[in-house]
Structure 1
Amino acid sequence: MRLSNFGLRRCHYVTAWGTEHLLVPDRDSAEGRRARLHRAHPALSRRIGTVSLTVLVVALVVLVAQLAEQVTGVPVVAERVGAFVAPVHLPAWCNVALTLVTLAAGTERALRLRYSRLLDGTAG
Structure 2
Amino acid sequence: MIKDFKRRWQMGKVRPGDGSRLKPFRWWQLLSRCLFHIRLIDQTGTPHLYAVDVHHMTDAKSKSDHDAGKGTAPAALYRDGVQIARSNVPTILTVPGGTIQVATSGFGVKRMHYIPDDTGAERMLHPDPRSQEGRRAKFADRHPALSRGVGLVSLVVLLIALSLSILQGVESITAIPPVAEHIGTFNSPVSLPAGANIAMILAAFLAGYERATRLRHHWLIDSAAT
Deviations 1:76-114 (A, max 9, x none): 111112111100101111111100000000000100124
1:100 correspondence with 2:202: yes
Instruction: Letter of the 2:159 partner, please give it.
Output: V
Alpha-carbon distance in 1 for matches of 2:160, 2:138:
28
Instruction: Letter of the 1:9 partner, please give it.
Output: R
Quote how far apart the aligned CAs of 1:4 are.
5.8
**Equivalent residue in structure 2 for 1:84, among 160, 169, 186:** 186
Whether the aligned pair in 2 keeps the contact of 1:4 and 1:120 (CA below 8 Å) is no
Who is 2:134 aligned against? 32
Structure of greater relative contact order (alpha carbons < 8 Å, 6+ residues apart): 1
Whether the aligned pair in 2 keeps the contact of 1:2 and 1:8 (CA below 8 Å) is no
Whether the aligned pair in 1 keeps the contact of 2:175 and 2:186 (CA below 8 Å) is yes
1:2 correspondence with 2:122: no
Unaligned runs of at least 5 residues, structure 1? 15-20
Alpha-carbon distance in 1 for matches of 2:179, 2:209:
36
Quote how far apart the aligned CAs of 1:13 are.
9.5
Alpha-carbon distance in 2 for matches of 1:8, 1:108:
12
TM-score under structure 1 length normalisation:
0.79
Q: More strand per residue: 1 or 2?
A: 2
Alpha-carbon distance in 2 for matches of 1:66, 1:13:
41
Q: More helix per residue: 1 or 2?
A: 1
Instruction: Letter of the 1:80 partner, please give it.
Output: H
User: Which of structures 1 and 2 has the bigger CA Rg?
Assistant: 2
TM-score under structure 2 length normalisation:
0.45
Give RMSD over aligned pairs: 2.6
- SS of 1:65 mapped into structure 2: helix
Instruction: Letter of the 1:56 partner, please give it.
Output: L
Deviations 1:39-84 (A, max 9, x none): 1111000000000000000000001101111110111111112111
Who is 2:212 aligned against? 110
Instruction: Letter of the 2:129 partner, please give it.
Output: R
Unaligned runs of at least 5 residues, structure 2? 1-99, 117-122, 221-226
Alpha-carbon distance in 1 for matches of 2:129, 2:115:
18
Alpha-carbon distance in 2 for matches of 1:83, 1:69:
7
1:68–1:8 CA distance, 2 compared to 1 (3 A): closer
Quote how far apart the aligned CAs of 1:29 are.
1.1
The number of aligned residues is: 113
1:42–1:60 CA distance, 2 compared to 1 (3 A): same
